[in-house]
Amino acid sequence: MSRSSCLVFLVLLSLSWVPQAPAATPLSPSSEECLDCHGSVHAGIVADWKRSRHAAITPKAAMQVEGLGLKLSSKQVPEALLNTSVGCAECHTLRPEAHADSFEHNGYKIHTVVSPDDCAVCHAVEREQYAANIMSAAHGNLADNALYNDLERTILGTAEIQQNRAHFTPPDAATRADGCYYCHGTRLVLAGVEKRATDVGELEFPVIKGWPNQGVGRVNLDGSRGACTSCHTRHHFSIEMARKPYTCKECHAGPDVPAYKVYETSKHGNLFAAMGSQWNYDHVPWTVGEDFGAPTCAACHISLVVTGDGAVLGRRTHQMSDRLPQRIFGLIYAHSQPKSPNTTLIRNKGGLPLPTDLDGTPAAGFLVDAKEAATRRDTMRSTCRACHGTAWVRGHFERLDGVVAATNAQVRGATRIMQTIWEKGYAQGPGSGGSPFDEAIERRWSDAWLMYANCIRFSSAMAGGGDYGVFQEGRYHLNQAIMEMGDWLKAQDGAGTEKR
Amino acid sequence: MSRSSCLVFLVLLSLSWVPQAPAATPLSPSSEECLDCHGSVHAGIVADWKRSRHAAITPKAAMQVEGLGLKLSSKQVPEALLNTSVGCAECHTLRPEAHADSFEHNGYKIHTVVSPDDCAVCHAVEREQYAANIMSAAHGNLADNALYNDLERTILGTAEIQQNRAHFTPPDAATRADGCYYCHGTRLVLAGVEKRATDVGELEFPVIKGWPNQGVGRVNLDGSRGACTSCHTRHHFSIEMARKPYTCKECHAGPDVPAYKVYETSKHGNLFAAMGSQWNYDHVPWTVGEDFGAPTCAACHISLVVTGDGAVLGRRTHQMSDRLPQRIFGLIYAHSQPKSPNTTLIRNKGGLPLPTDLDGTPAAGFLVDAKEAATRRDTMRSTCRACHGTAWVRGHFERLDGVVAATNAQVRGATRIMQTIWEKGYAQGPGSGGSPFDEAIERRWSDAWLMYANCIRFSSAMAGGGDYGVFQEGRYHLNQAIMEMGDWLKAQDGAGTEKR
Amino acid sequence: MSRSSCLVFLVLLSLSWVPQAPAATPLSPSSEECLDCHGSVHAGIVADWKRSRHAAITPKAAMQVEGLGLKLSSKQVPEALLNTSVGCAECHTLRPEAHADSFEHNGYKIHTVVSPDDCAVCHAVEREQYAANIMSAAHGNLADNALYNDLERTILGTAEIQQNRAHFTPPDAATRADGCYYCHGTRLVLAGVEKRATDVGELEFPVIKGWPNQGVGRVNLDGSRGACTSCHTRHHFSIEMARKPYTCKECHAGPDVPAYKVYETSKHGNLFAAMGSQWNYDHVPWTVGEDFGAPTCAACHISLVVTGDGAVLGRRTHQMSDRLPQRIFGLIYAHSQPKSPNTTLIRNKGGLPLPTDLDGTPAAGFLVDAKEAATRRDTMRSTCRACHGTAWVRGHFERLDGVVAATNAQVRGATRIMQTIWEKGYAQGPGSGGSPFDEAIERRWSDAWLMYANCIRFSSAMAGGGDYGVFQEGRYHLNQAIMEMGDWLKAQDGAGTEKR
């Protein structure tokens, strides 16, 4: 290759990414008007959109795709949307009456926050599935559960020691939006309107509390819940991006839910990191072996996965729990998936809004039964078997069952010490009207289940290697927490401390 | 570039990855028969293999490569294997009498678990080197060392507090396989046979305990140890993948052995992450500067590395310690490499199976001597010098020597406190027949050497930046552990606690 | 695509990276002489350089670039350098009288350590900006601040418990260079000369203490401070590499300054990881939307960023604080940026070299005022607005303000407990002449601000997701530290411990 032809080649390579006007796909006059200003003012947004499938195809053409490649799932799409690309105006002026933040803008009724109910105009099936996804209820499941709220208060609040006890000033809106609700989703509220000077004179805009936010359970200004942009990042809405594990990592990174960290340390994550630049992330359906050589998060949990000869291994779902028998994180014990995405309905025997009792007994009436759990596990297994023999897959899941049982037993041991501490009055627990989360020793207890038992289970579930299950916030630390709790109890016994 | 030619270009790009039947390389009739069913049933495996060098070349052709490019190291290969690709049957029917899991399957004697001794038919030299690699003994080195077993018990077991002390229910097989032995390798045991319904009727298969596993020291069903697939991931066996650091990360990620984390924070890791997509990972030999611009794990520890004018900087080795004078992790003190991969043979002065005494004195008779250590360091250095001047390289290793000495001294301080605690009877140590690992304060001691001193040394050894040596489980935490141990001892002294 | 044309294509692809002699750019005779030997001896260095822009262009040609693409910022360049590539000799023989390590080598006066003042011959503006960057003062800001030195001593020193207190043997040079000064930069000192046997006979070389080092505040042998190679890695000096976040990660990875970790968990980091392989990192200026789809560290803090229609969103700066109103890490409280890069000048009301009092009151006279802070924030905001609406950007920064205020309040609570502990004599603090850093309970206090409050603020500043602000060394742990400090104080009160 001569130097000049090499140069030409590299220039062409780089050009291939430069956004090009989608010549064949007509833009609506409204969207054209948007682009007149916003193409300059928000160059990044527009460049992003130009690279999107929304810019390159009309809904009419998208509806004509036959078979498994169909992405536009609504049976009907309003006539007015059919024959242009899906541009600015198509989404931001949709259903104006439904959106509390709709405002007059150059003759249009614009709303800032596009919601799942807007997307559902073309993607009805996905929106339906997502509404059954526990993620869509993530705001209320935290904000409307008194017990979780108490935990939230002791994490996000400002702790101060007064008379030997921690007192918590409740967190303000900034801290809540920046903390738990970054992922759980804020509740958006229209707080008024304001005038702002712009390049084209003074204009009026809505003022929205809780904005910006892209949390999975965001409560929108049309009452809908969720943000499709959590995963399908605005304004490219890229299926490639949603299929890569980095998207899931935004909310599944910390020790409370270390899915990404475990993934990247697993053989699957190794394959993705080492060979994934050669894979195709855009094909629908997604062909195992041909398009990709190892699963990303999406392959196991969401995507429509097929084999080269067309067999469907997993149907596309936006209800992630479709392939999950158990919830292995976030709560004191691993337990079967809840029946309803609204987990505030759950009550354990003690009347607490928890899916298990403190001894681990499941609140069975609110959780899927063994048969449903088995069905979900089978759905997951059929994807595994594209690359693994039956004995391998069975061995893997048997091991996971063992690990879930073992970690539940370990947490039971930790909880018994905690209960002894409460009973002896060394700390004030729920039995005496106290919070189970507002003392230092209680936090060592929550370390045990919220951090370490979680990590161990994720590591097992994803064949994630020994480190995350052992030395990286795993078994080493779980037993350390239990031993320290034992030491603390012994010291209190020795000190003759009495009930405060 | 017009849109259409751009499209053509991208299609071609993506096509270039689609697995293609290796037209020129004949498949054996046996393997062809395998593919008839398994091409559908295990589409992912087959697609993976089709992309491999094993699918693209016959052993005969591979043996004719001259010079440093030779990959097939056996001098002789059985006639029957010479003239077809290395397909399913070639490996999974090899040496059937040697494998306890061989079973009748459509007229063939198949074994599920292909072992290093199978691979050695073509790759005898690598298998030989690997047998001298401490990794190959990783199962027994842990399972057959009473002291390490005690640590394992207190990590993997289920801790419960009874009469103020932690008691540990021994871990079950699931937890052991999922924990330490995920990396160390399980012992595979044939547990029987079972009948399973398949697409082609009921068939009989072996039942293997400890399966699945790809740990580096797996004890196989033919008695051999190791799993080539730990690094050469099945069924692509990709040299590219083995040379990328993600493979090593599977087992070298946690704070006990943070090689990958330190690497990715180092200048070398930065170069790999930023520029590595432009490198070539397949060339054998591997030419520094031309093929790659900074070392990955493999470049320093394993690969055959040459300069553009053909000088050999490092010969290929599968005995990783060939270039390593010291072991800087996993044990109480850094020490010279053991002579034998079987470390259960080692005894320190006190008769414990440890490479040093509790004061750091090496069990010298079991460790390589200073001359051998110097030779190994020189081997490592010659790779460094491809990109670094002599003064740079010397400065780097002098600094490492200083850091190893300093961390050993720090651990000695921590150990002295621990010994005082044992002597005063505040905890039960080996002197009084107790375990050194089963009390909370003992775990703070093991934090000091198993986590923090480790991290500091890795950070120094790999020029890994300040964070992993200081604030990320480094010196900040090492001194914190020592100060907390001092506080704990002081509190016990104050409490007048007596020997339990 | 046939198999053979596919092969040709792949070979061409790989060839396109092989370093090629830059035919059109003349090499100076001196550099040619260097390459004669070093092309073999240091093949990696030379291959790296051959790929650089320095190898491909003469200063004269670089000076003729018009407009925003100009990279060579000096108005004048010495005649002797104008018409050849920037090779070995051009940098390593520059200003020989200024460098203490200049030595005779084959008739040339060579110096090993090329310094910012060497680079300034062509890049005067960047060198000037960098001298105003607090990073350039990183060595002295640590080494010459008595209080920070005390912290350094308790982190890098060897702690031993004597009479119930930790005593610290001061760290040796190896540990200092390997620890804090890896990033802060060592002070290089010429320690003498030595003779070494080389391939071409015995030669004399300088011996340099503190070498190797590439820390941002390295004190060089010509008296200048900094190392351009910290970010522009030798000898490729790649703008692509400096623009990728991995470079910043080398020093901004740990929990004390978790910028990289937060970034990679943020939506921006997700976009970079998922889509960044399609971006262009070499174009100058850097066009948002066209060249890149989401900011890397450089986009927000350093690079010359423009829109497709040529509007400048951010001018290039090597004084990173140009766009930063506040310092949110490293010290007890977040505070406005210092006026001078030399922070050893700062005194708080109590006379300590700290930018705030222990109650958080800023040492206002040494910090930029509100107006300057607002200007810097506006500079930052203009980059945000390429992709985000005004309300989004405002909402983001309001939230950050709230979080900074909240974390400062939380740290104030922690500090009040610490002060009570000091006042009661349970630990020896600055009031009684003690170190605030050398006891275990004091380290829990520094955990609060040096680790957790830092992480929370970074997470907020970079919209980094909930985990780093909550469960990954965030609010969960900050309140845990405060509760544990409260418990410790209570235990001391209970034990009737008296002033030591």
10-residue stretch averages of pLDDT, chain B, 500 residues long: 43 44 80 95 94 96 96 97 98 98 96 98 98 97 97 96 94 97 98 93 96 97 97 94 97 94 96 97 96 97 94 95 94 97 97 97 97 95 93 97 97 98 96 95 98 97 88 97 97 64
DSSP state, B438? S
- Please report residues of C whose CB lies closer than 8 A to that of B392: 211-212
Burial A195-207 (b: 16+ CB within 10 A, else e): eeeeeeeeeebbe
Rounded (10°) CA dihedral A329, A237, A288, A216: 10
Closest alpha carbon within chain C to B493: C164
Structure token pair of residue A331: 């709560």
Provide the pLDDT for residue B384: 95
Q: Which residue of C has its CA nearest to A252?
A: C467
Chain A residue with CA closest to C408: the answer is: A158
Closest to C288 in 3D by CA, of C198, C161, C177, C383 = C383
CB–CB contact A155 C311 (8 Å): no
User: How close is the nearest chain B Cα to the Cα of A423, in Å?
Assistant: 16
Cβ-contact C109, C103 below 8 angstroms: yes
Contact A410 B158 (CB under 8 A): yes
Kindly report the nearest CA distance between residue B115 and chain C, in angstroms.
33
Query: pLDDT tens across A404-414, in order?
Result: 999 999 999 99
C16 pLDDT exceeds 80? no
Give the nearest partner residue to C465 out of A165, A174, A182, using CB atoms.
A182
Contact criterion met (CB < 8 Å) for A293 and B48 = yes
Return mean pLDDT, chain C: 93
Across the interface, whether the CB atoms of C43 and B307 are under 8 A apart is answered yes
- pLDDT (0 to 100) of residue A106: 94
- Summary count for chain B: helices (H), strands (E): 24, 11
Contact B234, B113 (CB under 8 A): no
Provide the shortest C-alpha distance from residue B270 to chain C (in Å). Answer: 5
Residue corresponding to tokens 């070494």? C196
Domain boundaries defined on chain A: 26-92, 99-230, 238-495
Q: What are the chain C neighbours of B419 within 8 Å (beta carbons)? A: none
Alpha-carbon distance of A156 to B48, in angstroms, equals 48
- CB–CB of B215/B230 below 8 Å? yes
Q: Is the CB of A10 less than 8 angstroms away from the CB of C20? A: no
List pLDDT tens digits, range B391-427: 999 999 999 999 999 999 999 999 999 999 999 999 9
Give this prediction's pTM.
0.94
Q: Which of A178, A207, A262 to mutate to test the interface with C (most CBs of C within 10 A)?
A: A178
Q: CB C38: neighbour CB atoms within 10 A?
A: 16
Question: How far is the C-alpha of C116 from the C-alpha of C135, rounded, in Å?
Answer: 13
Instruction: Encode burial over C348-384: b for 16+ CB neighbours within 10 A, e otherwise.
Output: beeebbbbbbbeeebbeebbbeeeebeebbebbbebb
- Counted across chains A and C, CB pairs separated by less than 8 A come out at 219
User: Smallest Cα–Cα separation from A301: which of A344, A332, A259?
Assistant: A259
Q: For residue C400, list chain A residues with Cβ-Cβ distance below 8 A.
A: 174, 178
pLDDT digits (tens, 9 = 90+) for C398-445: 999 999 999 999 999 999 999 999 999 999 999 899 999 999 999 999
CB contact under 8 A, B465 and C183: yes
Please report the pLDDT score of residue B467 as a whole number. 86
Task: Identify which of C253, C443, C451 has the shortest CB distance to residue B465.
Answer: C253
Nearest partner of C436 among C424, C426, C427, C448, judged by Cα: C427
Question: How far is residue A72's CA from residue A66's CA, in Å, rounded to a whole number?
Answer: 11
Q: Which CATH number fits the domain B239-495, given the four candidates 2.30.30.100, 1.20.1640.10, 1.20.850.10, 3.90.470.10?
A: 1.20.850.10
Say if the Cβ atoms of A451 and C465 lie within 8 Å: no
Residue A480, CA distances (Å) to A16, A460, B329, B449 in order: 54, 20, 21, 16
Q: Strand ranges (DSSP E) for B256-412?
A: 286-287, 305-306, 312-314, 326-327, 335-336
pLDDT at res. A407: 98
Q: What is the pLDDT of residue C391?
A: 95
Token readout for A186 is 């804020």
Q: What is the pLDDT of residue B286?
A: 98
Q: Where is pLDDT greater, at C199 or C79? A: C79
Long-range contacts: B436-439, Cβ < 8 Å, 24+? B436/B150, B437/B150, B437/B151, B437/B153, B437/B154, B437/B155, B438/A483, B438/B150, B438/B153, B438/B154, B438/B165, B438/B166, B438/B168, B439/A483, B439/A487, B439/B165, B439/B166
Confidence at residue B310, expressed as pLDDT on a 0 to 100 scale: 87
Q: Is the dihedral of CA B362, B364, B370, B375 positive or negative?
A: negative
Distance, CA of B10 to CA of B2 (rounded, Å)? 12
Contact between chains at C244 and B487 (C-beta distance less than 8 A): no
Of A45, A103, A111, A161, which to mutate for an interface test with C (greatest number of C Cβ within 10 Å)? Answer: A161
Q: Give alpha helix (H) positions in B26-115.
A: 29-41, 43-50, 53-56, 59-63, 79-82, 88-92
Q: Cβ contacts of residue B420 below 8 Å, gap of 6+?
A: B489
Residues of C in contact with A211 (CB under 8 A): 391-392, 395
* Interface ipTM > 0.90: yes
C-beta atoms of C19 and B466 within 8 A: no
CATH architecture label of A238-495: Up-down Bundle (1.20)
Q: Residue B158 and residue A406: Cβ atoms within 8 Å?
A: yes
Q: Where are the beta strands (DSSP E) in B12-144?
A: 103-105, 108-110
Burial (0-12, 13-18, 19+ Cβ within 10 Å), A180: buried
* Residues C460, C461, C465, C468, CA torsion sign: negative
Structure tokens at B376: 């190994």
Please compute, for residue C75, the number of CA atoms within 13 A of its CA located in the half-sphere on the CB side. Answer: 0
- Report the C-alpha gap between A381 and A392 in whole angstroms: 11
pLDDT band at C254 (very low <50, low <70, confident <90, very high): confident
Preferred mutation among A475, A478, A482, A489 to probe B, highest tally of B CBs within 10 A: A475
- CA-nearest residue of chain B to C47? B289
Binary contact (C207, B391; C-beta < 8 A): yes
- Among B36, B101, B161, pick the best mutation site for testing chain A contact (most A Cβ within 10 A): B161
Residues 6+ positions from C351 with CB-CB distance below 8 Å: none
| Integer Cα distance of C117 and C100 in angstroms | 14
Q: B256 and A479 in contact by Cβ < 8 A? A: no
Element housing B310 (H / E):
none
Cβ pair A493:B164 closer than 8 A: yes
Contact A480 B443 (CB under 8 A): yes
Question: Residue B75 to residues B4, B124, B133, C464: CA-CA distances in angstroms?
Answer: 52, 8, 22, 56
CA atoms of C317 and C327, how far apart (whole Å): 18
pLDDT band at C241 (very low <50, low <70, confident <90, very high): very high
> Residue C75 burial by CB count (10 A; 0-12/13-18/19+): exposed, middle or buried?
exposed
- C406–A171 C-beta distance less than 8 A: yes
Instruction: State how far residue C319 is from chain A, nearest Cα, in angstroms.
Output: 25
Separation CA A402–CA A148 (nearest Å): 28
Task: Grade residue C221 by pLDDT with cuts at 50, 70 and 90.
Answer: very high
What CA–CA distances, in Å, run from B218 to A446, B213, B321, B417, C81? 36, 7, 19, 38, 61
* Residue C68 near residue C284, CB atoms below 8 Å: yes
Chain B, chain C: beta-carbon pairs less than 8 Å apart:
219
Which ranges in C302-453 belong to alpha helices (H)? 370-384, 390-423, 440-446
| Minimal C-alpha gap between B207 and chain A (Å) | 8
- Note the pLDDT tens digit of each residue in C261-310: 999 999 999 999 999 999 999 999 999 999 999 999 999 999 999 999 88
Q: Which of C205, C246, C497 is closest, CB to CB, to B270?
A: C246
Give CA–CA dist B6/B14, Å, rounded: 12
Distance CA(A19)–CA(A236), nearest Å, equals 11
Count, residues in chain A? 500
- Who contacts B219 (Cβ-Cβ below 8 Å, separation ≥6)? B139, B140, B185, B186, B187, B188, B225
Q: Predicted confidence band at A115 (pLDDT cuts at 50, 70, 90)?
A: very high
Residue C23, pLDDT score: 53
B410 with C233: Cβ contact below 8 A: no
The mean pLDDT value for C455-479 works out to: 93
Q: Do B43 and A309 touch (CB under 8 A)?
A: yes
Decide if C40 and B307 are in contact by the 8 Å CB cutoff: yes
Q: Which residues make beta-bridge pairs with A336?
A: A326
Nearest residue of B to residue C439, measured between CA atoms? B483
Residue C104 reports pLDDT greater than 50: yes
What does residue B189 show for φ and ψ, rounded to 5 degrees? Answer: -135, 130
Residue of A nearest to C23 (CA): A3
Measure B266 CA to nearest chain C CA, in Å: 6
Contact C40 B389 (CB under 8 A): no
Strands laid side by side in the A312-314 sheet:
A286-287, A305-306, A312-314
Cα–Cα dist B361/B349, whole Å: 9
Nearest by Cα to A25 from A70, A78, A87, A90 = A87
Q: Is C279 in contact with C271 (CB distance < 8 Å)?
A: no
**In contact, C200 and C156? CB cutoff 8 Å:** no
Helix (H) or strand (E) holding A58: none
Closest CA to B209 of B194, B196, B230, B224: B194
Peptide bond into C212 cis (omega under 30): yes
What per-residue confidence (pLDDT) applies to B24? 78
DSSP-derived secondary structure for A309-342: T--EEE---S-GGGG-SEE-SSSSS-EEPBSSS-
Q: Say if the Cβ atoms of B43 and A267 lie within 8 Å.
A: no
Q: Which subunits sit against A, judged by 3+ Cβ pairs under 8 A? A: B, C
Q: Please state, in angstroms and rounded to a whole number, the distance separating the CA atoms of residues A102 and C444.
A: 50
- Pick among A20, A272, A456, A470 to test the B interface (most B CBs inside 10 A): A470
Give the Cα separation of A405 and A401 in Å (integer). 6
Identify the closest residue of chain A to C292 by CA–CA distance.
A44
Tens digit of pLDDT for each residue in A16-68? 444 444 457 999 999 999 999 999 999 999 999 999 999 999 999 999 999 99
Rounded to 5 degrees, φ, ψ at B114 are -80, 135
